[in-house]
């Protein structure tokens, strides 16, 4: 007999990165911020793709 999952709860815990030391190069902070922005965009793009795939699968049923 198949099991149907009607509801799924996902819990995520985020923490802030540790403070940067004073010895960081002046341009390094800008580059790190850009890297985080690129990571965030990649994550959002992947989430959007997965949601669209789920919606497409539901409409095919």
Percent of the chain with pLDDT over 70: 72
The answer to the question of residue 57 being in a domain is yes
Number of domain units in the chain: 1
pLDDT given at position 48: 92
pLDDT computed for residue 6 by the predictor: 82
Domain assignment present for residue 9? The answer is no
Which alpha helices (DSSP H) does 1-61 contain, by range?
Answer: 26-60
Q: Which residues does 29 contact at the CB level (< 8 Å), separation at least 6?
A: 20
Using DSSP's 3-state secondary structure scheme, residue 54 falls into: helix
Q: Which domain holds residue 58?
A: 29-61
Q: Which residues of the chain have pLDDT under 50?
A: none
pLDDT at 11: 84
């Amino acid at each position: 007999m198949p099991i149907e999952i009607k509801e799924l709860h996902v819990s995520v815990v985020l923490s802030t990165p540790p403070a940067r030391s004073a010895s960081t190069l002046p341009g390094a902070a800008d580059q790190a911020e850009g890297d985080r922005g690129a990571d965030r965009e990649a994550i959002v793009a992947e989430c959007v793709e997965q949601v669209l795939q789920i919606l497409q699968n539901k409409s095919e049923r």
